[in-house]
Amino acid sequence: MSRSKTIGVALSSVLLGAGVLSLMGFGLASAQPHQPALTATPTGTRGHVALTISVYPDSQFGGNRGTGGAHPDWVSYSNDNLVVPANSVVDMTVKQYDSGGELNNSVFGNVFGTVGNTMNVNGKEVSSWDPTSIGHTFTLRGISGDGTRLMVSVPLPFDTNKGAENNGGGVEIAPMVVKFSFKTGGKGVYQWNCEFPCGGSRQGQFGEAMSTYGYMSGTLTVK
Ligand SMILES: [Cu+2]
């Protein structure tokens, strides 16, 4: 085989591989989000909408079903497909039912990108949380078509109301109630995920629920 032909064959197999990969990527993207949309509702305050989600130590916690599916024993957000209007203020409530531990990156113990750079935990306004006592984080980011950047991150404290370990019989126990607001800009699909390594024993706790779409991740569609 001539050198140029060899290069040609090699190049075409790389291109074919890339094509297959991008098709797979397209397939994944089209398959997501896999839950029905949870659409924010008007609060009555002009320009504000409300959105409430939960985080469970497992996707069957309290009889609730997380975004789970194939792995009901994995940690899970209640919803992976959030929808909010453009150019609005989203008043968000996250009910955190899980235990937790120490962040591997203490940066995510800080609140950023919310209105006032604060969050309200069980009625108390704070701008950060002890990085050794975190259950999960809600970390949203992305740039929309019109260049709007969203970067919002909120640590969701270890549930000291308790909690995960008392989950016998599916009885729902008081969560940590975390409230914060953030502003949306232009239309687009933004990604969010958790930055607390909660994904089981694999890959430094970043496997399983952390690396499988829909448990510790989802989209925020601004439209
Ligand atoms: Cu998590």
Å from CA of 3 to ligand 1 middle: 51
Q: What is the pLDDT of residue 74?
A: 85
DSSP, residue by residue, 61-128: GGG---S-SS-TTS-EES-SEEEE-SS-EEEEEEEE----B--SSGGGGB-BSSGGG-EEETTEEESB
Q: What pLDDT score does 12 carry?
A: 52
Distance from the alpha carbon of residue 97 to the mean position of ligand 1, in angstroms:
11
Q: What is the pLDDT of residue 4?
A: 52
Distance 32 CA to ligand 1 centre (A): 19
Q: How many domains does the chain have?
A: 2
Asked whether residue 20 falls in the same domain as residue 63, the answer is: no
Ligand 1: distance of its center to the CA of 199 in Å?
A: 7
- From first to last of its 223 residues, the chain has per-residue pLDDT tens of 445 555 455 545 544 455 444 444 444 444 456 788 999 999 999 999 999 999 988 766 655 555 556 777 788 898 999 999 999 999 999 999 888 899 999 999 999 999 999 999 999 999 999 999 999 999 999 877 677 788 999 999 998 886 555 445 444 578 899 999 999 988 999 999 999 998 876 667 888 888 888 889 999 999 9
Query: Is the domain of 8 the same as that of 83?
Result: no
Q: Which domain holds residue 9?
A: 1-31
Distance 217 CA to ligand 1 centre (A): 9
Residues 146 and 199 in one domain: yes
Query: Distance, CA 44 to ligand 1 centroid (Å)?
Result: 32
**pLDDT for residue 21:** 45
Query: What's the 50 CA to ligand 1 centre distance in angstroms?
Result: 22
- Where does residue 209 rank: exposed (0-12), middle (13-18), buried (19+ CB within 10 A)? buried
Report d(CA 78, CA 222) in Å as an integer. Answer: 19
User: Is 58 in the same domain as 129?
Assistant: yes
Query: Are both 193 and 180 inside the same structural domain?
Result: yes
If asked whether residues 204 and 98 sit together in one domain, one would say: yes
Q: How many angstroms is it from 98 CA to the middle of ligand 1?
A: 9
The 10 Å Cβ neighbour count of residue 25 is 10
Please check whether residues 126 and 161 belong to one and the same domain: yes
What gap in Å lies between CA 91 and CA 11, rounded to an integer? Answer: 51
| Ligand 1 center from residue 99 Cα (angstroms) | 10
| C-alpha–C-alpha distance, residues 144 and 7, integer Å | 39
**Same domain for 87 and 4:** no
* Same-domain check for residues 81 and 2: no
7 and 57 share one domain: no
81 with 190, same domain? yes
Written as one letter, the residue type at 211 is S
Ligand 1 centroid–CA 13 distance in Å is 38
40 and 55 fall within a common domain: yes
Residue 163's pLDDT is 53
CA 195 – ligand 1 centroid, Å? 6
Q: How far apart are CA 55 and CA 74, in angstroms?
A: 11
Q: Which of 113, 128, 116 is nearest to 220 (CA)?
A: 113
- pLDDT recorded at residue 174: 83
What is the CA(169)–ligand 1 centre distance, in A? 23
- Cis check for the bond before 163: say yes or no (omega within 30 of 0): yes
* Distance (Å) from CA 210 to ligand 1 centroid: 7
pLDDT at 203: 66
Asked if 90 contacts 113 with a C-beta cutoff of 8 angstroms, the reply is: no
Q: HSE on the CB side for 168, CA within 13 Å?
A: 1
Q: What's the CATH code of the domain at 179?
A: 2.60.40.420
Nearest CA to 189 out of 147, 152, 223 is that of 223
Residue 64 CA, ligand 1 centroid: distance in Å: 17
